[in-house]
Chain A
Amino acid sequence: MRELEYPFDAGFIVTQKKKIKRRLLEQIKDTHSSCIPTRVAVLGGGTTTDVKDCIELFLLHCGIEPVFYESEYNRYYQDAVFSNDELDSFHPDFVYICTSNHNITEYPAITDSSEYIDGLVSNEISKFTAIWDALFQRFHCVIIQNNFDMPYLRPLGNREAWDIHGGVHFLSRINMAFAEYAQTHEGLYICDLNWISSDYGLKEWADPYFWYMYKYAMALEAIPYLSYNVANIIKSLLGKNMKAIVTDLDNTLWGGVIGDDGVENISLGSEGSKDQAYQAFQRYLKRLQTQGILLNIDSKNDYENALAGLEHPDSILKKDDFIDIRANWDPKDTNFLEIAKTLNLLPESMVFIDDNPAERHIVREQIPGAKVPELTEISYFAATVDRSGFFEVTNFSADDLDRNIMYQDNAKRARFEKTFSDYGEYLLSLEMKAKIRPFESLYLARIAQLTNKSNQFNLTTRRYTREEIEIVSEDPQYITLYGKLEDRFGDNGVVSVLIAHCGDDKCQVDLWLMSCRVLKRDMECAMMDALVSECKKRKIGEIIGFYYPTKKNGMVRLFYEERGFTKIEEDENGNTVWKLEINESVEKQNKYIEIV
């Protein structure tokens, strides 16, 4: 829904939230989209009704269907630290602590000693640490905590910033301590109220009218910006981030049309004002790329001209920074889909960047779900992409740092494949090695992430939280397997996950998924072998597999048949149940991967 995409009209959202919610629910129903359910507790130091309502809109908009618990006004501390039946039985996945500078217990007085003020800081920290520790212990949940917005008034004027008695200085110290806690505790994420409020404009944000009238810590029309940021954190943790950028060249990465003007006349560099703006936008994209975002080109140009632009001495982005370069005269939406196919990504997890409104329109119309930010002038391209929340970073792993290398390795594999006439020979020459083991603590976060973002090679599309993954990994009734694949071109990381539960001589497969980056590499056969051998070890007689169709997992409709299972049930919705008896005639299926 365009109304919920950045830059949005926050006043419109907050005053027409009821209508927007109805439309979102209708849209979800009409398109038969499957949403990720999640449980969010909002514990507030002020009124939070609209904060919660707007979080709901932004989450529904990206395919997450939340249910809420909301604390009573200013009961955040009690709800977190003391037992509360309603919250206990709600069992949140996320707890959002929505506090602001109104919730500070005591600010320094001008006569306070330095030691006394140290004490005030540590009292605040202990109060919040007690909240976080209690929540982690009770719920093993993710906590999202606001830091503090800067004070609305400055009785000391600019001295507030550096004098220990100043409110600005005091709150900054506490914010720094919050950051330190977040750095050392997995599961606590800071919602940067300080930045969000200053970006909005503190004077309007902190309009005291709303506090006195309704105990809202910010103006009503500012609330969607806060909710949007909270929703972005949740969305990112549930694996709904965007993964790639597909960008235009002319008048997007540089000024001018390279085919007409020639490489020497394009606008790019450190001289003219527009030259700098284009270069700055390139620098921003380069930064995203180093954070694991895959860059690609979709440009109406001759290929040679496109490359000439990237070889421009002032071009920050070079040919090797891109995974797939499509510079041709095909429609942009066709190229966009081809790029998705090359990367094995869903088109709705890619962002299209183009200065031309007509091109944006065609991609938006032809590819439902593709993210197409509205761009105005080159000076603001980066700001629009930046504030669109496409790439909110919550967990930053080695995998993210290496992602571009992995995809470049994939491109090398594809070129290598072309030198073989026989596919089996190609697979052998990849010298693949797989490690297949029960879940290990090191990989729990990655495993949970995969269960939330894998859609295509996914038999049941069951989503798991990190906590649920931890629980099944410790339960002896469960068989858990993760698969990690390496080959001559590099390490693909954890790419396959399987969860099954055993009982009555049967092993029922609850989840089986694989990352599409290793399709057709025999990895599914290796996982199958590992499952069969584990079942034999446990003396289990049969494996039961399930396939639940979604809009995206058609590729594995007959997966169990291919593995030698027999179909035993099928309902009117296409849900199927499959059976395999384990006996001597079940053979090893993997031929090409060495198991280490």
Chain B
Amino acid sequence: MTREEVNKTMDEVFQDVFDDEGIHVTESTTAKDIADWDSMMHVTLCVAIERKFGIKFNMDQVNTMKNVGEMMDIVLSQVS
């Protein structure tokens, strides 16, 4: 999977979770950029990403990820 493909799939996950087809995420997107992205939706979002890519985040990763770019780093390190 290329980084572009991951980004595109990431868009779908965000659109599904936040029920907003207008959402497009970039490397620098953070929780501040999406109105409903609070701490509870973050839990949902992480599980949705895990389901979509068939991966599993560990506690450190979830606690330290700062933006969508870092999420994509973790995804890319786990998918072949």
Contacts and interface: CB of A to CB of B under 8 A. Distances in A.
B47 A16 contact: no
Given A49-B40, A212-B59, A14 B19 contact: no
Question: Which of B17, B43, B59 has most chain A Cβ within 10 Å?
Answer: B43
Contacts of A16: 16-17, 19, 48
Given A18-B18, A19-B19, A22-B19, A221 B59 contact: no
A353 B18 CA distance: 37
Contacts of B48: 15-16
Contact of B43 (A11, A18, A212, A220): A220
Interface of B is mostly: helix
Interface string B38-61: 001001100110010000000100
A22 B36 CA distance: 15
Contacts of A22: 19
A220 B19 contact: no
A529 to B, nearest CB: 56
Contact of A15 (B36, B40, B51, B59): B51
Contacts of A15: 16-17, 44, 47-48, 51
Interface in A241-275: none
A50 interface: yes
Contacts of A209: 59
B78 to A, nearest CB: 16
Contact of A14 (B36, B47, B59): B47
Given A15-B17, A18-B19, A49-B40, A213 B47 contact: no
Contact of A50 (B16, B36, B40, B51): B40
B57 to A, nearest CB: 9
Nearest to B58: A209
A214 interface: yes
Nearest to A49: B40
A51 to B, nearest CB: 11
Chain A contact residues: helix, strand, loop or mixed: helix
B62 interface: yes
Interface in A122-178: none
B17 to A, nearest CB: 6
B23 to A, nearest CB: 12
Interface string A16-54: 111100100000000000000000000000010110000
Contacts of A220: 43-44, 47
A456 B18 CA distance: 40
Contacts, number: 39
B62 A221 contact: no
A434 to B, nearest CB: 54
Contacts of B51: 11, 15, 221
Contacts of B19: 16, 18-19, 22
Given A15-B51, A50-B44, A213 B62 contact: yes
A17 B59 CA distance: 24
A251 to B, nearest CB: 36
A214 B43 contact: yes
A216 B44 CA distance: 12
Given A49-B40, A50-B40, A221-B47, A213 B59 contact: yes
B44 A14 contact: yes
Nearest to A210: B43
Nearest to B15: A19
Nearest to B39: A214
A216 to B, nearest CB: 8
A14 B44 CA distance: 7
Residue among B16, B36, B40, B47 facing the most chain A CB atoms (10 A cut-off): B47
Contacts of A18: 17-19, 36
Interface in B3-54: 16-19, 36, 40, 43-44, 47-48, 51
A564 to B, nearest CB: 54
Given A16-B17, A49-B40, A11 B47 contact: yes
Contacts of B43: 50, 213-214, 216, 220
A424 to B, nearest CB: 61
Contacts of B36: 18
Nearest to A23: B19
A292 B48 CA distance: 42
B36 to A, nearest CB: 8
Contacts of B62: 213
A523 B51 CA distance: 58
A326 to B, nearest CB: 43
Nearest to A209: B59
B16 A19 contact: yes
Nearest to A47: B40
A19 B23 CA distance: 14
B13 to A, nearest CB: 8
Nearest to B17: A15
B3 to A, nearest CB: 23
A11 B51 CA distance: 8
A85 B35 CA distance: 30
A224 to B, nearest CB: 12
17 contacts: A15-B16, A15-B47, A15-B48, A16-B17, A16-B19, A17-B44, A22-B19, A50-B40, A50-B43, A50-B44, A209-B59, A212-B59, A213-B62, A220-B43, A220-B44, A220-B47, A221-B51
Pick the 5 closest A-B CB pairs, nearest first: A15-B48, A18-B19, A19-B19, A49-B40, A220-B47
Interface of B: 16-19, 36, 40, 43-44, 47-48, 51, 59, 62
Given A14-B44, A50-B44, A213-B59, 6 more contacts: A11-B47, A11-B51, A15-B44, A15-B47, A18-B36, A19-B19
